[in-house]
Amino acid sequence: MDFSYTQEEEMFRKRLNEFLDKELTEEIARQNWEDLGVGPEAREFSRKLYENGFLGLPWPKEYGGQELSPTYDFILIDELGKRWGAHVPLDVGYTMTGHTILRRGSEEMKKEFLPKIIRGEIEFGLGYTEPNAGSDLASMMMKAEEKDDYYLINGQKTFNTESHYADYHWLAARTELDPDKPKHRGISLFIVDQRSPGITIRPLITMSGERTNEVFYDDVKVPKDRMVGEKNKGFYYMMEAIDSERNHVFVPARLWPIVNDMISYVKATEYNGKLLSDDPQIQSKLAQMIIDLEVAQVLADNARWLELNELPMTMEPEITKLVVSELEQRMVDDAMQILGLYGQLEEGSKWAPLRGRIEWYYLHSFLPTIGAGTSEVGRNVIAQRGLGLPRG
Amino acid sequence: MDFNFTDEQKMLRESARGFCEDKSPMSFVLEMEEDEKGYTPELWKGMAELGWMGLVIPEEYGGVGMSFMDLIVLLEEMGRVCLPGPFFSTVVLGGLTILEGGNESQKNEFLPKIANGDIILSFALAEPSSTQYDPSLIEVTATAEQDRFIIDGTKLFVSDANVADYIICAARTQGEPASKDGITLFFVDAKSPGIKCSLLKTVAGDKQCEVIFDKVVVSEENVLGEVNGGWFVIEKILQKAAVAKCAEMVGGGQKVLEMAVEYAKQRVQFGKLIGTFQAVQHHCANMAIALQGSKFITYKAGWMLSEGVPCAMQVSAAKAWTSEAYKKLVILGHQIFAGTGFMAEHEMPMYSRRARAAELAFGDANYYRKMVAQDIGLAPRS
């Protein structure tokens, strides 16, 4: 066992933090965390990350990377996360679709997309969920018919979160239309230019103010060379990517800002002539947050270690996802209780404590236990794939 | 970062698993719960022959010279079968304390005997006034008298004092009862006149004792570490003891999860394997989450202690999380085994009784939350 980082990795972390002190603002961080849309400053920040040698380190040299350990990407997302919950600004391309392109894409596709992903220049929107295909993703109905040199695509996607600012749609659609064939063996993945004629994007606004989208395809023509990998293998590509995606998205470090904000609040706020930090109940709540975060971090470290050593992952990333998402709910609940009546005040309101951040987190905290698979489906995965219990 | 065990650790685990399963089936554990001594000399000898008592004792003192992390692996296997006996008291609380606080002549005299399995040790810390776990609350006094000390007072929850050859006793040589200054550790012959030991009846059937020290005379040569400087040693030992206890809990938790999953794959109700029901699957998933968290935070804290890296926060997180997680594991395990698991002769009660004892040993989650609060500057240091 060894729980330390190498000297080079620690140097990278130090250099990165010096850079972030100067370059990362709360506004940029929140554009991504709150899915507000990635504006020019965030895109500029993204390019600077690459120019200063913080983005793309683990990627192959031929596409602009340095072929170093994936640990560098994990350090990057940890250090970003500690600052207002920030992420790599164009994170869907960088932490999700890029990996599948590298694994499954044609050489032309890799040459076209990977350098831009690694340089932090382009973003993708995930096009998986449909109104009747949520947890049961294999039931998707979006139809891609093979024509001469293109696919003709029709149907509807929903909760496609990045689509209003992404450059490309990472689309899963049905290419095997025979209803007697197994559902999960009839899906293919496509990279679709979001400016293609026939695409309509309509906003859906979440309870915590994020924008997500419905995306409609009406006779959209997608060139055949924009299919990722082989036809009808899309569902498998989605599943083989899911563990790594969890490792990159459910990042315990992104919850530190809540704890740090709350610690400064209780140290500076009085009740009845005493600081809140003197109240044993409040001490206990905050201590439990830190204990849970320590454990979440080492769970994440374990799942990441499996990934970067290409060892089998059965339930580890799913466990991290469950722990991190349910921890956010508990932490926010405790934080709200500590804030008392003030906890209900929104950002921008008179008297709002901690700039209303905890109130926003409360609203947000309903998402992580649902997004990217509900906690219930996650527990099925742990039981069946991890522990070998039989399917019902 | 590396989550692999070394080849030596893998071998140690394999041999420990074989030995423990062979020598300590449930029938033996239950028998030892009823037994006055709580262990058998044959088992003790067998463990000594495998080098377990000397595992973390350096070779120069007759030990094997392995690390604290190696000991974690061994304790995990012991926890898996609820191995009875005074190993924890002798090696973790006794051996490590002598290594940490003992002078050269004490190390030379006692460490080889521990390594050989020739002596059994016990550590007397808690007292009747410790109605909440507080290792610095020491009222038992040791009064200096020329070249000796006279120890007076009552110690409680002293594990394995009933069979110990020596008791390490934390006594107050100066200062107020809850002060960390003025505590001294004494290495006391358990047969000294004035020592009276009686067994307490505990939930886990382990051998915890009341030990009364009635004007017990101890030579100043038997002070471990500095006079009035005992806390320095106690604090370090309790960190290791807490994480060592976590390792036992991880081993027990692993076994409980395996048993529950196995049962869910065989038991049929409503014409189906109960393991196909989502309610049962989710119980098992929750057990796996509780276990994985316990495992890796224990390994991390154990590794940091092994490497000598400061890790108060990780120790607190390990003992707080693992204590709660083990309870969760046994509660869910009982739900899956239902009525059959409620029977005294079933394996489940053996684990659920120990989950409670292990939670209470060396501080529960409440205690470690207080420690964390102090470490982040919310509460004044006690």
Cβ within 8 Å, pair A278-B379? yes
Residue A101 lies in a domain: no
Calpha distance A240→B347 (Å, rounded): 39
- Which residues make up the CATH 1.20.140.10 domain(s) of chain B? 231-375
Chain A closest CA to B76's CA: distance in Å? Answer: 15
CB-closest option in B281, B284, B372 to A291: B372
Q: Which chain A residues are within 8 Å of B277, Cβ to Cβ?
A: 392
A202 and A288 share one domain: no
* CATH code for the domain in which residue A16 is found: 1.10.540.10
- The H helix count followed by the E strand count for chain A is 13, 10
Q: Is A312 on the interface with B (CB under 8 A)?
A: no
Cβ within 8 Å, pair A388-B261? yes
Contacts with A, B 30-49, CB within 8 Å = none
A211 and A179 share one domain: yes
CB-closest option in B277, B376, B379 to A290: B376
CB-closest option in B275, B293, B320 to A389: B275
Residue B212 phi/psi, 5-degree rounding, is -100, 125
Calpha distance B304→A1 (Å, rounded): 10
A147 and A66 share one domain: no
Res A301 pLDDT > 70: yes
pLDDT, tens digit, 9 for 90 and up, residues A341-359 = 999 999 999 999 999 999 9
Cβ within 8 Å, pair B289-A284? no
Q: Which chain B residues are within 8 Å of A71, Cβ to Cβ?
A: 1
**Percentage of chain A surpassing pLDDT 90?**
95
Return the CATH architecture of domain B123-229.
Beta Barrel (2.40)
Q: In 3D, which of B79, B71, B86, B87 has the Cα closest to residue B17?
A: B79
Calpha distance A29→A89 (Å, rounded): 8
Expressed as residue numbers, the domain containing A374 is 250-386
What is the helix, strand, coil percentage profile of chain B, to 5?
A: 55, 15, 30
Chain A closest CA to B150's CA: distance in Å? Answer: 39
Q: Which chain B residues are within 8 Å of A299, Cβ to Cβ?
A: 292-293, 296
Q: Which chain B residues are within 8 Å of A392, Cβ to Cβ?
A: 272, 276-278
Chain B closest CA to A167's CA: distance in Å? Answer: 36
A229 and A254 share one domain: no
- Which residues make up the CATH 1.10.540.10 domain(s) of chain B? 7-119
- Which residues make up the CATH 2.40.110.10 domain(s) of chain B? 123-229
Given a cut of 70, the residues of chain B with pLDDT beneath it are 382
Q: In 3D, which of A249, A251, A264 has the Cα closest to residue A335?
A: A264
Res A36 pLDDT > 80: no
Looking at residue B382, its pLDDT comes to 65
Of the residues A75, A286, A295, A330, the best mutation for testing chain B's interface (the one with the most B CB atoms within 10 Å of its CB) is A295
- DSSP 3-state of B179: coil
* CATH code for the domain in which residue A271 is found: 1.20.140.10
Cβ within 8 Å, pair B368-A291? yes
Cβ within 8 Å, pair B379-A280? yes
Q: Per-residue DSSP letters for A112-125?
A: HHHHHHHTT---EE
CA distances from B192 to A108, B118, B128, B207, B269 (A): 85, 19, 22, 20, 61
Cβ within 8 Å, pair B281-A302? no
Residues 6 or more apart whose Cβ sits within 8 Å of residue B133? B126, B360, B362, B363, B364, B367
CB-closest option in A302, A319, A391 to B3: A302
Res A38 pLDDT > 90: no
- DSSP 3-state of B186: strand
- Residue B15: count of CB within 10 angstroms of its CB: 15
Q: Is A388 on the interface with B (CB under 8 A)?
A: yes
Mean confidence (pLDDT) of chain A: 96
Of the residues B272, B378, B382, the best mutation for testing chain A's interface (the one with the most A CB atoms within 10 Å of its CB) is B378
In B311-364, alpha helices (H): 312-341, 347-360
Chain A closest CA to B2's CA: distance in Å? Answer: 5
| Residue of chain B minimizing CA distance to A288 | B369
Cβ within 8 Å, pair B378-A277? yes
A225 and A261 share one domain: no
Chain B closest CA to A52's CA: distance in Å? Answer: 25
Of the residues B76, B281, B368, B371, the best mutation for testing chain A's interface (the one with the most A CB atoms within 10 Å of its CB) is B281
Looking at residue B369, its pLDDT comes to 98
Cβ burial of A362 (10 Å; 0-12, 13-18, 19+) is: buried
Q: Is A375 on the interface with B (CB under 8 A)?
A: no
Cβ within 8 Å, pair A383-B282? yes
Looking at residue A370, its pLDDT comes to 95
- The H helix count followed by the E strand count for chain B is 12, 10
Of the residues A294, A316, A319, A376, the best mutation for testing chain B's interface (the one with the most B CB atoms within 10 Å of its CB) is A294
pLDDT, tens digit, 9 for 90 and up, residues A77-112 = 999 999 999 999 999 999 999 999 999 999 999 999
Cβ within 8 Å, pair A298-B277? no
Chain B closest CA to A368's CA: distance in Å? Answer: 17
* CATH code for the domain in which residue A166 is found: 2.40.110.10
Q: Is B264 on the interface with A (CB under 8 A)?
A: yes
Cβ within 8 Å, pair A302-B370? no
CATH code matching the domain that covers B231-375, chosen among 3.40.140.10, 3.40.50.300, 1.10.10.10, 1.20.140.10: 1.20.140.10
Residue A238 lies in a domain: no
Beta pairing, strands A168-174 & A124-127: parallel
Q: Is A377 on the interface with B (CB under 8 A)?
A: no
A307 and A268 share one domain: yes
Cβ within 8 Å, pair B1-A379? no
Residue A218 lies in a domain: yes
A137 and A210 share one domain: yes
Cβ within 8 Å, pair B378-A266? yes
Cβ within 8 Å, pair A2-B277? no
Cβ within 8 Å, pair B284-A389? yes
Res A317 pLDDT > 70: yes
A260 and A364 share one domain: yes
Residue A243 lies in a domain: no
Q: Per-residue DSSP letters for B8-30?
A: HHHHHHHHHHHHHHHH--HHHHH
| Residue of chain A minimizing CA distance to B278 | A380
Q: Is A380 on the interface with B (CB under 8 A)?
A: yes
| Token pair belonging to B35 | 């037994």
User: Token pair 């002596």 is at which residue?
Assistant: B119
| Token pair belonging to B276 | 């196909």
Residue A304 lies in a domain: yes
Q: Is B321 on the interface with A (CB under 8 A)?
A: yes
Q: Is B67 on the interface with A (CB under 8 A)?
A: no
pLDDT, tens digit, 9 for 90 and up, residues A245-254 = 999 999 999 9
Q: What is the CATH number of domain B7-119?
A: 1.10.540.10
DSSP bridge partners of B169: B124, B186
Q: Which chain B residues are within 8 Å of A295, Cβ to Cβ?
A: 293, 296-297, 317, 321
Calpha distance B94→B112 (Å, rounded): 13
Structural domain count, chain A: 3
Res A392 pLDDT > 90: no
Calpha distance A182→A272 (Å, rounded): 66
Q: Which chain A residues are within 8 Å of B317, Cβ to Cβ?
A: 290-291, 294-295
Contact, B356 vs B349, CB < 8 A?
A: no
Looking at residue A161, its pLDDT comes to 87
Q: Predicted ipTM? A: 0.96
Local confidence band at A335 (pLDDT 50, 70, 90 cut-offs): very high
CB-closest option in A278, A291, A389 to B261: A389
CB-closest option in A3, A277, A383 to B1: A3
Q: Is A277 on the interface with B (CB under 8 A)?
A: yes
A379 and A269 share one domain: yes
Q: Is B367 on the interface with A (CB under 8 A)?
A: no
Chain B closest CA to A360's CA: distance in Å? Answer: 25
pLDDT, tens digit, 9 for 90 and up, residues A215-224 = 999 999 999 9
